[in-house]
Amino acid sequence: MQPDTPISSLRSVGSRKTDALAEIGIHTMADLLEHFPRRYLDRSTVTFTTDLRKDMNATVVGKVTGTQMRRGRKRSWFEMVVADERGFLKCRWFNGAKWIQKRFNKGDVVAVSGKVDFYGGFQMVHPDFDVLSEEGTNPINTGMIVPLYPSGQNLQSAGLDSRGFRRLLRPLMDGIESKLPEYFPRNMLEKNALIGIGEAMRKIHFPDDMEALKQARQRLKFNEFFFMQLLLAIRRHSQAEVVKPNRFTTHGEYLASQYAKLPFTLTEAQKRVMNEIWTDLKSNHPMNRLLQGDVGSGKTVISLLAAAIAAGNGYQSAIMAPTEILAEQHYKNAIKFFEGTPIRVVLMTGSQTVAQKRDLRKALKEGYYHVAVGTHALIQGKVHFKNLQLVVIDEQHRFGVLQRGELLEKAGEADVLVMTATPIPRTLSMTIYGDLSISILDELPEGRQKIITRKVDIHALPKVYDFIKDELKAGRQAFVVYPLIEESEKIDLEAATMGYEKLNVLFKDYKVALLHGRMSGDEKDGIMESFSRNEIQVLVSTTVIEVGIDIPNATVMLIENAERFGLAQLHQLRGRIGRGEHRGVCVLLQRNINADSMDRLNIMVETTDGFKIAEEDLRLRGAGDIFGTRQSGLPALKIANILYDGDILKLARKEAFAMVQDDPHLRKKAHTGIRQIIMEKYADLSTIAGIG
Ligand code: ADP
Ligand code: MG
């Protein structure tokens, strides 16, 4: 058996099984071996029928003692009685009863899992089920650990339920150690207390005891992380081999002078980051740096100081923002920052006319402008620079990982600084941004007032409105934010509009305005503009203000239906206030209370630390959907979990980066096996890693 042998070459796998397996991406022996059990049954995970309680989730293992199709007045169902050595349990299926009926025979030993109900006796409705054996012997009683495999209707119809998979896999375990030769160097195995790959395969599918299972998991998780990190390490290394055409030789004449004009001094964290950037700029190789800094940590000034260095060296810079509003804000900041210098700043956005864009492009190409600010229109299509050497991407969290890749490609041999306001737990940034150097702004500028967060229900609303009035009287401004979630867009918009009308009356001495996503770009900009000039005091808005807006005079934020927001989103929203010298107050108004949202909102009340919030967010929502790790171009994780296996990830990352450091092209004899796996298994990914 070779790992790439098609599974159809197994005698027990006919065309039906081949098709059903192909549907879930299993084509070869190696794929089949990586179809890992979803869980395991042993004594400790099985409940006796006499220990069942209503509403508990349980797994019962027993013999099928009776099966029957029953007919009621309205519908029919399938009923099955399972008896263990102490009692019995009824199972009922109302849907797909005919199909289910065919799965079981009297005398089969089965495992059923689900929520326990009481209906004249204990029962489960539509439980998950697995046939453990037909012979009537209960493997759990013999102390076995039984693997249960992920399956589905088509697989089951083709005979590939858990039992089918066990039958398929069991014979493959004969001599598995010699079929899957070890590819990790011996010292790496020893150092990390890892078992061999063949042994791990055997133990993950058919563990003799829990300890064996633990060893198998450790090795296989390490494996997944290791190859992922190896690809990143190789990519990072190949980037580092690129020699950039434009070296930075000096701080230039603008850095010191413009720094001196700032109304503040940099925080220690900002200074450290500036040094890290400078080290990259003056090196021979392009910078690839991620700057992580919580909202309000002062990333903008970093990008401007870097642009000042670029200008001082005679190079152009591009600063990109995810939205037009933000691009304009950056533009204004840049204009102000370079005031009194000969540095020319230009704004490019999608809403400019064709003629305007053409002129701007020409001027950029001729090197008339030194700093170009814009949305991604800036680097799309026909835009050319004379000598672009610094690209800053203010990512917030709007650009996907793939888009970032595209942008970087366009940037070519330029120095790239990606700024993100989304605090990313370390384990995640090691994967998503694993090929970048990372700088962290872990300190807020001094004098920044803490934001106070309160969670209230509707009874407190009059008090909240009074408080907002007091703030307005003191000259401050307020945000009132409504949720806007796509499925219910229309209703949400109505809620925001009604809220606006109500507040317009309530705060009649002040100017109240409504801002939402259906407005044109110009309308939105106009309103934001007026709000930032304090011509509007209360901004009622849907979530469009979420990203990066800087209005230091805004001190209150009331978030309506706060229970409907995700944690990361609440954190971003809250970051819009408390940015100036006055303390900020964020009120989370909960209209519908449930346990889940209580947890989320409590976290918001307890901490303003973006990293803590991000970790909690990840825990509550799972890693997948937040950052789209699956579309990151990295290998999918089948057994390891970024959230819970951070320790293994760190070990694997260390080994992978050390290996590439020592042997960048994996040419050493000890690395042959690993090189081969990359070529075979990650062939389609090896381009992102720049090998192959
Ligand atoms: P973010 O990291 O969220 O993009 P900004 O760059 O918008 O943060 O900075 C937030 C505010 O803090 C701005 O008004 C900026 O001028 C100010 N700021 C930045 N750095 C400092 C500092 N070292 N001391 C005082 N204020 C600062
Ligand atoms: Mg910002």
Domain co-membership, 351 together with 414: yes
Q: What pLDDT shows up at residue 562?
A: 92
Residue 143, domain extent: 39-148
- Span from the CA of 620 to the centroid of ligand 2 (angstroms): 26
- Span from the CA of 221 to the centroid of ligand 1 (angstroms): 41
Could you identify the atom of ligand 1 that is nearest to the CA of residue 550?
7
Closest residue to atom 25 of ligand 1, CA basis: 445
Question: Is 647 contained in some domain?
Answer: no
Q: In one letter, which amino acid is 259?
A: Y
Question: Is 495 contained in some domain?
Answer: yes
- Ligand approaching nearest to the C-alpha of 295: 1
Question: Is 353 contained in some domain?
Answer: yes
- Helices 324-337, 299-312: axis angle to 10 degrees equals 60
Instruction: Return the structure tokens found at 677.
Output: 């796996």
Q: Answer whether 322 contacts ligand 1 (Cβ < 6 A).
A: no
Domain co-membership, 409 together with 490: no
At 625-645, the pLDDT tens digits run 444 444 455 667 789 887 788
Q: In one letter, which amino acid is 81?
A: V
CA atoms within 13 A on the CB side of 678: 28
- Tell which one of 271, 290, 292, 300 to mutate to probe ligand 1, the residue whose CB is within 8 A of the most ligand atoms: 300
Q: Answer whether 296 contacts ligand 1 (Cβ < 6 A).
A: yes
The Cα 334–Cα 343 span in angstroms is: 10
Question: Among all chains, which residue has been given the structure tokens 């069942």?
Answer: 52
The Cα 406–Cα 398 span in angstroms is: 14
- Ligand approaching nearest to the C-alpha of 305: 1
Cβ–Cβ under 8 Å, residues 345 and 371: yes
Closest residue to atom 12 of ligand 1, CA basis: 298
SS3 371: strand
Q: Residue 362 CB: number of other CB atoms within 10 A?
A: 11
Q: Answer whether 131 contacts ligand 1 (Cβ < 6 A).
A: no
- Span from the CA of 302 to the centroid of ligand 2 (angstroms): 10
Domain co-membership, 425 together with 358: yes
Instruction: Return the structure tokens found at 232.
Output: 């990143």
The low-confidence residues of the chain, meaning pLDDT below 70, are 1, 379-381, 396-412, 423, 432, 485-488, 544-548, 621-635, 683-692
Q: Answer whether 610 contacts ligand 1 (Cβ < 6 A).
A: no
In the 8-state DSSP scheme, what is residue 78? E
Question: Is 425 contained in some domain?
Answer: yes
Could you identify the atom of ligand 1 that is nearest to the CA of residue 300?
6
The Cα 77–Cα 414 span in angstroms is: 67
Domain co-membership, 413 together with 530: no
The residues whose Cβ lies within 5 A of ligand 2, an ion, are: 548
Q: Answer whether 301 contacts ligand 1 (Cβ < 6 A).
A: yes
Query: Could you tell me the strand order of the sheet in which 371-374 lies?
Result: 345-348, 371-374, 316-320, 388-394, 415-420, 288-293, 437-441
- The residue out of 148, 172, 199 marking a domain boundary is 148
- Span from the CA of 417 to the centroid of ligand 2 (angstroms): 13
- Ligand approaching nearest to the C-alpha of 327: 2
Closest residue to atom 22 of ligand 1, CA basis: 445
- Ligand approaching nearest to the C-alpha of 319: 2
- The residue out of 392, 415, 441 marking a domain boundary is 441
- Span from the CA of 419 to the centroid of ligand 1 (angstroms): 14
Q: What pLDDT shows up at residue 446?
A: 82
State the Cα torsion 114-116-117-121 to the nearest 10°: 120
Could you identify the atom of ligand 1 that is nearest to the CA of residue 580?
14
The Cα 619–Cα 615 span in angstroms is: 6
- Span from the CA of 192 to the centroid of ligand 1 (angstroms): 44
Among candidate residues 477, 484, 483, 480, the one with its CA nearest the CA of residue 461? 480
Domain co-membership, 437 together with 468: no
- List the CATH number of the domain containing 556: 3.40.50.300
Q: What pLDDT shows up at residue 637?
A: 79
* Residues 239-254: b if buried by 16+ CB within 10 A, e if exposed: bbeeebebebeebbeb
What residues are paired with 58 via a beta bridge? 114
Q: What pLDDT shows up at residue 634?
A: 62
Could you identify the atom of ligand 1 that is nearest to the CA of residue 441?
2
Q: What pLDDT shows up at residue 438?
A: 87
At 432-460, the pLDDT tens digits run 677 788 899 988 888 777 789 999 999 99
Closest residue to atom 26 of ligand 1, CA basis: 445
Question: Is 173 contained in some domain?
Answer: no
Question: Is 161 contained in some domain?
Answer: no
Domain co-membership, 394 together with 329: yes
- List the CATH number of the domain containing 53: 2.40.50.140
Closest residue to atom 20 of ligand 1, CA basis: 298
Domain co-membership, 477 together with 542: yes
Could you identify the atom of ligand 1 that is nearest to the CA of residue 297?
2
Among candidate residues 463, 443, 330, the one with its CA nearest the CA of residue 396? 330
Q: Answer whether 526 contacts ligand 1 (Cβ < 6 A).
A: no
Q: Answer whether 392 contacts ligand 1 (Cβ < 6 A).
A: no
> Please, what is the Cα angle at 88 between 87 and 91, to 5 degrees?
165
- Tell which one of 264, 273, 553, 573 to mutate to probe ligand 1, the residue whose CB is within 8 A of the most ligand atoms: 264
Domain count of the fold of the chain? 3
Could you identify the atom of ligand 1 that is nearest to the CA of residue 333?
16
Domain co-membership, 558 together with 436: no
Question: In degrees rounded to 5, what are phi and psi of residue 559?
Answer: -105, 110
- The residue out of 109, 124, 148 marking a domain boundary is 148
The Cα 193–Cα 165 span in angstroms is: 30
Question: Is 248 contained in some domain?
Answer: no
Domain co-membership, 405 together with 295: yes
Q: Answer whether 550 contacts ligand 1 (Cβ < 6 A).
A: yes
Question: Is 376 contained in some domain?
Answer: yes
Strand segments, DSSP code E, in 395-505 are 415-420, 437-441, 451-456, 477-481
Domain co-membership, 425 together with 471: no
Closest residue to atom 16 of ligand 1, CA basis: 298
- Span from the CA of 511 to the centroid of ligand 2 (angstroms): 27
Domain co-membership, 301 together with 399: yes
Domain co-membership, 348 together with 406: yes
Q: Answer whether 97 contacts ligand 1 (Cβ < 6 A).
A: no
- Ligand approaching nearest to the C-alpha of 301: 1
